[in-house]
Structure 1
Amino acid sequence: MTKIEPARFLDKKSQPHTFTLVVLASISAMAMNIFLPSLPSMANHFNTSTATLGLTVGIYLAASAIIGIFVGPISDLYGRRPVVLVSLAIFIVSSVWCIYAPTVFWLLTARVFQACGAVTIVLSRAVIRDTTEANLAGSKIGYVTMGMALVPMVAPGIGGFIDAYLSWEYNFWALTLAGIITFGLVYLDLGETALDRSSSIFEQFRDYPTLLKSRRFWAYSVTSGLGAGAFFAYLGGAPYVASEVFYLPPEKLGVFFGAPAIGYFVGNFLAGRYSTQVGIDPMISIGMLINVSGLLLSIALSMLGFGSEWTFFGTMTLVGLGNGISLPNANAGLLSINPKLAGTASGLGGSIMIGLGSILSAMAGILLDGSNTEIPLISLMLISAFLGLLCTFYVIKRNNDLRI
């Protein structure tokens, strides 16, 4: 852990303020979902289908996963601050690129570069690990992601109204403005926290086998990946369900779409409040059980003929609640395996999680293509969450074995 003076806002010689970390972690979430209510309008503009434009989510997630593999070692070598600033500059330029993309191909290409914004959430966790004791990291990550959860809670609603009263392009102008504000905030408030850095990039990549050979690292990473995978499948499929199954207009789609974020916000508060007392592994278990329970309730209601936008999106708050409790603790668990490799572990663990998410997001689009029911999406989410719960049990068993 790096010893840096307590946080003073807009003083980069001290620890970064919690507000800065929240904003830093939020930009990626905002880029992921503010424009989703606009997919039908964008489909008309580019003369393609909503399902095809759903690839804007999968492409973004896949690119984020690949970038995450490299960003951890690079930030451990060159420092968190310069890597964050460069990634935000690329994010700003690519957001403008999305607006003026002439075809779907160029839009998807711009989204690949826009995925540089995902660096911010990876490195915000690494910054916390740099400056916080391991047993307190889960709590602090929980509070930061609680603040971050406000963005996906309100962004789709804002995006829906922007689409209804302006046009889809203004959602990407909003992302451009958010990128500029975040860049300025980071420049003024975030000093360098990775003071004990490696001498070469090759040394950093040599550390990957150390993590990849750790069964605990894999257990925590896959647990978070499958738990979050349910939400990523939701991102890939919910716009279709809302517009093609429940026939919601963009502004209502945006309001309903933010339902999981309400639960995630509450879950993050509970993680921040109780993780230190309860412990990382029990909190992961509680979160995953809530995740699975919410999806079982959702599919039961739909199969019994009670499915509606209210039951579908309402039960998604339980998915958000479970992830809000489990994910901060799973992230803290994988970062604690080797504190000297916090940046590498954050990047690699994030890549595994987002890589699984991109696959599930794409699968959701494939399963729903031509469907007139929400059940295929809920089923996919339930399978992902249940497998994540099984991984949680393995995490607990492995940690208990190591204590013997």
Structure 2
Amino acid sequence: MTRDDSAQTSASRMTEDTAMASTAAPRRSILLLLTALSVLPVNIYLPALPNLAAEFQADFALVNLSIAGYAIINALTEVIAGAMSDRYGRRPVALIAVSIFIVASIGCALAPTIGVFLLFRVMQASIAACFCVALVVIKETAGERQAANRIGYAAMGWAIAPMLGPTFGGMLDEVFGWRAIFVTLALLGAAILAISMRELKETAGHASRPRGNYFASYGQLLSSARFWAYALCMACSTGTLYIFLGGASLAVGASLGGSSAKLGFFMGMVPAGFIFGSYLAARFAGSSLSKTLVAARLSTCMGLLLGLVLSVSGVTHVIAIFGPCIFIGIGNGLTFPAANLGVMSVRTNLAGTAAGLAAAMSIAGGALIASISGLFLQAAGAVPTLFMMLLTSASLALSAALFAAFIEQRSTERLPRGEPAESG
């Protein structure tokens, strides 16, 4: 598999350079808007769930299906949309995804029953297609260093959308009612669709589009050790975040006197760390992708190891708990651009398929890791156990990063003398 990856590296580099030479980069603003819209619907309506359940006179557990159902369709959309963008182009996939999202948002706003609402809610997940499309467009219209820089800065914006989403949604619900949230999403979708139709250009060349069936495309990626290394690093990094999100309130809630406001403030330190990590990724773009991953995962492991030592030593101050967890965000912020560029560089003509497949694997893998860890996090106040689970997942991500660095080194050694080596 390594020899195949080395051969593909040479062909990919020539194809990519040719494509970039003839492709004008779209404005950064449209790509940022598309990706922000792809993450905003995930949690913007969460503060309105009780009012939504009350209006429909539905069991809260049934209403909660709007979260799980959205997540499942989101992952499936990433897989399918990425492959479709390789075959039919980035622009049409993005425009169709936004159009479906607008219709689904209107359907949610007008839904007369909980069943109709749930149907349109899962349809909203079509917007996830814009996430992988934006990543691929950035890669196809920039060199490796510039692409890492752009993805790093874009990730800072993507982190802000889910941070502000619940606050914005809660305000809309309180002033106008929960249906106003989905009317707002529909209006945002319509505005972004209009901008996209004018600004978003096609970046996928017809000559490089894959032939054969979809399963063959997935098979080419899944047979690559490089793809697995980067994808597993993303999945375990996501798993570390999911463990924190699911276990922090149980392990730490009592020490904050049951204050949800304080808990929310301290949990916000991790997204803040992600923004800082993304800034670092953009600021220092250009170094080896795998070396960046190793540095990112080492920083997370060292931070969590400090937290474990403090908790085992009996230090229970809230800063001693959440302070080390900032490194989850910093490490993930550094990991995101490098890992995504890594998976997209495995097969240049399958960049969209790779981005979508890796994103779905990251979501599914992270959820699986968090579910397994949840079996050990059943007792309130179990801070050392929380850090042990976090450190285990982070260590798995570090192992995958080291594997990626090993494969990169082997690929570099196999290249003919004088040929530039791809850093991913």
- Contact map agreement 2:343 2:354 (CA 8 A) in 1: yes
Match of 1:62 in 2: 72
Q: Return the alpha-carbon distance in structure 1 between the equivalents of residues 240 and 307 of structure 2.
A: 13
- 1:289 corresponds to 2:298: yes
Match of 1:86 in 2: 96
Structure 2 counterpart SS, 1:185 = helix
Q: How many residues align?
A: 392
Pairing of 1:4-403 with structure 2 (within 5 A): 14-38=24-48, 48=59, 56-99=66-109, 107-162=117-172, 167-196=177-206, 202-235=212-245, 246=256, 247-249=258-260, 257-276=267-286, 278-298=287-307, 304=314, 306=316, 308=318, 314-360=323-369, 372-373=380-381, 375=383, 379-403=388-412
Q: Return the alpha-carbon distance in structure 2 between the equivalents of residues 44 and 88 of structure 1.
A: 30
Q: Return the alpha-carbon distance in structure 1 between the equivalents of residues 52 and 372 of structure 2.
A: 21
Q: Return the alpha-carbon distance in structure 2 between the equivalents of residues 125 and 80 of structure 1.
A: 10
TM-score norm. by structure 2 comes to 0.79
Q: Return the alpha-carbon distance in structure 2 between the equivalents of residues 40 and 377 of structure 1.
A: 29
- Contact map agreement 1:90 1:113 (CA 8 A) in 2: yes
CA 1:264–1:195: 2 relative to 1, 3 Å: same
Gaps of 5+ in 2: 1-15, 414-424
- Aligned-residue RMSD, C-alpha: 3.5
Q: Return the alpha-carbon distance in structure 1 between the equivalents of residues 390 and 207 of structure 2.
A: 40
Gaps of 5+ in 1: 7-13
Q: Return the alpha-carbon distance in structure 2 between the equivalents of residues 36 and 238 of structure 1.
A: 19
Structure 2 counterpart SS, 1:193 = coil
CA 1:258–1:168: 2 relative to 1, 3 Å: farther
Shift of 1:367: 6.7
CA 1:95–1:256: 2 relative to 1, 3 Å: farther
CA 1:164–1:299: 2 relative to 1, 3 Å: farther
CA 1:101–1:288: 2 relative to 1, 3 Å: farther
Shift of 1:191: 1.2
Deviations 1:98-119 (A, max 9, x none): 4455676655544432221111
Structure 2 counterpart SS, 1:347 = helix
* Greater alpha carbon shift after TM alignment, 350-359 vs 166-175: 166-175
- Contact map agreement 1:28 1:120 (CA 8 A) in 2: yes
- Contact map agreement 2:208 2:349 (CA 8 A) in 1: no
Q: Return the alpha-carbon distance in structure 2 between the equivalents of residues 377 and 105 of structure 1.
A: 37
Structure 1 counterpart SS, 2:285 = helix
CA 1:351–1:48: 2 relative to 1, 3 Å: same
Identity %: 32
Q: Please tell me whether Structure 1 or Structure 2 has the larger radius of gyration of its CA atoms.
A: 2
CA 1:307–1:360: 2 relative to 1, 3 Å: farther
TM-score norm. by structure 1 comes to 0.82
Q: Return the alpha-carbon distance in structure 2 between the equivalents of residues 106 and 366 of structure 1.
A: 34
Q: Return the alpha-carbon distance in structure 1 between the equivalents of residues 63 and 364 of structure 2.
A: 19
Deviations 1:64-95 (A, max 9, x none): 22222211221111111111111112222323
Shift of 1:321: 1.1
- Contact map agreement 1:129 1:339 (CA 8 A) in 2: no
Structure 1 counterpart SS, 2:284 = helix
